[in-house]
């Protein structure tokens, strides 16, 4: 009876994960370090997609002390993809979604998922980013 209960509990946990993320996947935050005055195109956070898997982006958090545009970048099917995230002023933006932000265009194995800033930062401005990522 104990084994049956354990198996049932495990199945319920797997089902809950699938319901939340749309597939049997474990996601985790990848944290980038604070950067002072990063240049144009500077990578704020990166996550390498392991071999033989596809990468899915379930969220991001970006903070900056000034207005700028950011790009969430990945490669899918050998084609560079991106989502632009504009900031009108200083602050932070966070998005977390149970459906992958790159649903239908998973990141290719062996490539990187990154967040970059578009324009160079002003002196002493601090930027930081993180990704909510999982692979299957």
pLDDT digits (tens, 9 = 90+) for 27-42: 999 999 999 999 999 9
Delimit the domains of the chain by residue range.
26-135
pLDDT digits (tens, 9 = 90+) for 81-112: 999 999 999 999 999 999 999 999 999 999 99
| CA proximity to 39, closest of 106, 127, 103, 121 | 121
Question: Cα(70)–Cα(85) distance, rounded to whole angstroms?
Answer: 5
Phi/psi-derived region of residue 91, left when phi > 0, alpha when psi is between -120 and 50, beta in every other case:
left
Q: Which residues contact 68 (CB under 8 A, 6 or more apart)?
A: 87, 117, 118, 119, 121, 127
Give the pLDDT of residue 15: 61
Give the pLDDT of residue 1: 46
Residue 18's pLDDT band, with cuts at 50, 70 and 90, is: low
What is the CATH number assigned to the segment(s) 26-135?
Answer: 2.60.120.1380
Question: Cα(76)–Cα(73) distance, rounded to whole angstroms?
Answer: 10
């Amino acid at each position: 009876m104990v084994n049956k209960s354990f198996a049932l509990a495990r199945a319920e946990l797997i089902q809950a994960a699938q319901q939340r993320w749309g597939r049997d996947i474990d996601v985790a935050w990848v944290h980038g370090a604070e950067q002072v005055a990063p240049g144009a195109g500077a990578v704020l956070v990166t996550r390498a997609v392991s071999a033989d898997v596809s990468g899915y982006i379930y969220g991001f958090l970006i903070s900056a002390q000034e207005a700028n545009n950011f790009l969430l970048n990945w490669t899918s099917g050998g084609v560079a993809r991106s989502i632009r995230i504009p900031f009108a002023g200083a602050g932070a933006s966070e998005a977390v979604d149970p459906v992958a932000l790159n649903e239908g265009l998973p990141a290719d194995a062996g490539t990187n998922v990154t967040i970059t800033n578009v324009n160079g930062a002003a002196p002493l401005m601090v930027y930081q980013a993180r990704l909510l990522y999982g692979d299957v």
